[in-house]
């Protein structure tokens, strides 16, 4: 009986160690350039400067080592004179897989800050969860947004 218990406990320890080795956390940090594709801006009646924005956007993620990814997303915002809240759903596609996330945030004094909640993934990011941040970056370009993105991606063991 003692040998059985020792064998059982050892086997459980090996299985737990193997599962932990497969699971992981990866931090992705990159610049994101986004551009509206199909956007509608509606001005609220009788509220000066109040707009509701909704539409599809596209973006390119650029990592410091030169590799890239793309982002397709839907976005909605409620802005009063350029400040307000926003939310949306993104799918980032990288060579190794894709990540889908929901984001929320706010724009104040021309600066954007927000948070991601990772909903799912494919490929190397299969069944991913996690969080992330969005922060506006100094932008010398007209007609596009430039953002700093950080995603903390957790993948489960199989």
pLDDT digits (tens, 9 = 90+) for 111-147: 999 999 999 999 999 999 999 999 999 999 999 999 9
* pLDDT reported for residue 53: 97
**With pLDDT > 70 as the criterion, what percentage of the chain qualifies?**
84
pLDDT in tens, 64-106: 999 999 999 999 999 999 999 999 999 999 999 999 999 999 9
State the CATH class of domain 24-155: mainly beta
Provide the residue ranges of all domains of the chain, joining segments of one domain with +: 24-155
pTM above 0.75, yes or no: yes
Exposure of 53 by Cβ count < 10 A (0-12 exposed, 13-18 middle, 19+ buried)? middle
* Rounded CA separation 56/74 (Å): 5
């Amino acid at each position: 009986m003692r040998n059985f218990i020792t064998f059982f406990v050892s086997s459980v320890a090996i299985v737990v160690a193997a599962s932990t080795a497969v699971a992981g956390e990866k931090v992705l940090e990159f610049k994101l350039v986004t551009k509206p594709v199909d956007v509608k801006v509606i001005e609220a009646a009788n509220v000066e400067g109040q707009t509701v924005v909704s539409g599809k956007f596209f973006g390119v993620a650029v990592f410091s080592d030169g590799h890239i990814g793309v982002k397709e997303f839907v976005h909605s915002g409620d802005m009063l004179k350029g400040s307000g809240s926003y939310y949306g759903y993104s799918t980032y596609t990288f060579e190794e897989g894709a990540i889908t996330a929901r984001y929320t945030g706010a724009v104040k004094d021309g600066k954007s800050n927000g948070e991601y909640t990772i909903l799912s993934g494919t490929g190397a990011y299969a069944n991913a969860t996690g969080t992330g941040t969005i922060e506006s970056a100094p932008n010398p370009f007209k007609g596009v947004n430039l953002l700093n993105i950080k995603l903390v991606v957790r993948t489960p063991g199989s």
